[in-house]
Amino acid sequence: MHKVYIKTFGCQMNEYDSERMAGILSGAGYTITQDEHDADYIIVNTCSVRQHAEERAISFIGAASKKHKVIVAGCMAQRLQDDIIKRFPGVKAVVGTFNFAKIAEIIKEEKRRVYAGEEQTDVFNIRPKKEGEIRGFTTVMQGCDNFCSYCIVPYVRGRERSRDKDSILEELGEMGKMGYKEVMLLGQNVNSYFDRKNSVNFSGLLREAVKVDGIKRIKFMTSHPKDLSDELIETVAAEPKLARHFHLPLQSGSDRVLKLMNRKYTAGHFMGRVEKIRELIPGCSITTDILVGFSGEEDADFLQTVQMAEKIKFDAAYIFKYSVRKGTAGEKMEDSVNEKVKLERLNNILELQKKISENMASANIGREMDAIICAPGRADRGLLEAVTDTNKTVLIPAGSGKIGDTVRVRVTGARRVMLEGEVI
Ligand code: 5AD
Ligand code: SF4
């Protein structure tokens, strides 16, 4: 019996693709191992979004391919293709983002080669799931048509493709029967979801998804600020099974930089969306992505980003330092911010956001909310981890319920961004 270890870099979409590869391979008789050293094959599912992510994957591949048969999958595989085969003699195959559905056949192939053609199988219909899980993912759409000038995703994940509503509902139904309680619907831009056959948009999909038996909570990401409709905000406000949470990437608070980034909205529009969310959905959490040091970003632009972050008070922000990606529109712009300034800006805003995130967590003390118990406490065995309907982790005493239960929690404290609570 051959053993396969899967190493995943990058976003939740990649984690989900790794789960799907694991499912296909176990169906084909392979054992998925958690021990890298014990594996016959190592699949490295890579990310290309930032230079740093690629560098980490490259060094992992370099070390692993000396001892194991390595297969490189994901965004970097799609981007670099043959270069990976040439550079690493121990790499057996390179599998692009459209081709992983064939992983069980690819792994058996003796000849070293690149698989990076167009989608061969309906990847949306590959949906292996694990027994005994409480939280899971599924994809509703893939690809991106937005072409933000810094971003490689449209090139490595292709154009937007929305999945048929019935296939999503069927999968949610299966997950409900298997015991999943919370599902995250994934898409690069979920607001652009549109099922042409049934003429259903994302809000329409959500209204049907909440009716699926067994699933107690539905979350989704990522929402593009330019496409976030009133209808979607109203839908989240109206449906108690939808998590009170939006991941809404700001990237920059300067209209000039947003324009250079080709984001197609202004800081004012973004602010308007945040106000609408907070008006219709009290206590809704809002998280974001911020990109510092983009080409052309001056001190004054960065200051506007800082001011936006101070004003909005995101519950959490993923903050990144710009790195040029080959083949994007950004590559042709002068990378005008030097590394030292990029780093200063990064640290500056990280520091600010850390305080804001902690304050936002503490603001929950005394509040009551629904939480799903999802795991034993990782650091403390006397505790259970539960996830709130605002997508925060709350630690509750062991014995407050069993895994999978929904409990009403009163928040009693905050440990940085994690909450502490008691069941009422
Ligand atoms: N450099 C740094 N960060 C990037 N992101 C996307 N492209 C780049 C890049 N070239 C960030 C954006 C995006 C998140 C997923 O990654 O903030 O929202
Ligand atoms: Fe990249 Fe922009 Fe598409 Fe997001 S919306 S995946 S940042 S191109």
- How confident is the model over 376-404, as pLDDT tens digits? 877 677 899 999 999 999 999 998 899 99
CA-wise closest residue to 144 among 46, 56, 230, 249 = 249
The finding on whether 254 has its CB within 6 A of some atom of ligand 2 is: no
Q: Tell me the average pLDDT across 305-327.
A: 97
Is it the case that residue 1 has pLDDT exceeding 80? no
CATH number of this structure's domain 3-115: 3.40.50.12160
CA-wise closest residue to 218 among 372, 368, 369, 357 = 372
Q: What's residue 73's pLDDT?
A: 97
User: How confident is the prediction for the chain on average, in pLDDT?
Assistant: 94
Indicate where the chain has its CATH 3.40.50.12160 domain(s): 3-115
Q: What's residue 121's pLDDT?
A: 67
Token duo for residue 406: 């929904």
Is it the case that residue 119 has pLDDT exceeding 90? no
Q: What's residue 131's pLDDT?
A: 78
Q: What's residue 125's pLDDT?
A: 74
Topology annotation, domain 129-243? Transcription Regulator spoIIAA (3.30.750)
Distance of CA 319 from the midpoint of ligand 1 (Å): 9
The finding on whether 154 has its CB within 6 A of some atom of ligand 2 is: yes
Q: What's residue 123's pLDDT?
A: 72
The finding on whether 224 has its CB within 6 A of some atom of ligand 2 is: yes
Indicate where the chain has its CATH 2.40.50.140 domain(s): 368-423
pTM of the entire predicted model? 0.94
- How confident is the model over 142-177, as pLDDT tens digits? 999 999 999 999 999 999 999 999 999 999 999 999
Is it the case that residue 5 has pLDDT exceeding 90? yes
**Domain 368-423 belongs in CATH node 2.40.50.140:** yes
- How confident is the model over 240-298, as pLDDT tens digits? 999 999 999 999 999 999 999 999 999 999 999 999 999 999 999 999 999 999 999 99
Residues in contact with 243: Cβ distance below 8 Å, sequence separation at least 6, in sequence order:
217, 218, 219, 236, 389, 390, 391
Closest protein CA for atom 1 of ligand 2: 151
Sheet of strand 182-186, all strands in order from the earlier edge strand to the far edge: 135-139, 182-186, 217-221
Closest protein CA for atom 16 of ligand 1: 49
Is it the case that residue 120 has pLDDT exceeding 70? no
Is it the case that residue 124 has pLDDT exceeding 90? no
Which atom of ligand 2 is found nearest the CA of 222? 4
Q: Which residue of 150, 151, 270 sits with most ligand 2 atoms within 8 Å of its CB, as the best mutation to test the pocket?
A: 151
Closest protein CA for atom 5 of ligand 2: 146
Q: Which residue of 142, 145, 186, 189 sits with most ligand 2 atoms within 8 Å of its CB, as the best mutation to test the pocket?
A: 189
- How confident is the model over 91-108, as pLDDT tens digits? 999 999 999 989 999 999
Higher pLDDT, 416 or 337: 337
Q: What's residue 348's pLDDT?
A: 98
73 phi/psi in degrees, rounded to 5:
-125, 175
Indicate where the chain has its CATH 3.30.750.210 domain(s): 129-243
Confidence of residue 127 (pLDDT cuts 50, 70, 90): confident
Percent of the chain, pLDDT > 90? 90
CA-wise closest residue to 116 among 124, 125, 106 = 106
Q: Tell me the average pLDDT across 303-313.
A: 98
Ligand 1 pocket (Cβ < 6 Å) reads 49-50, 150-151, 249, 251, 289, 291, 320, 322-323, 325
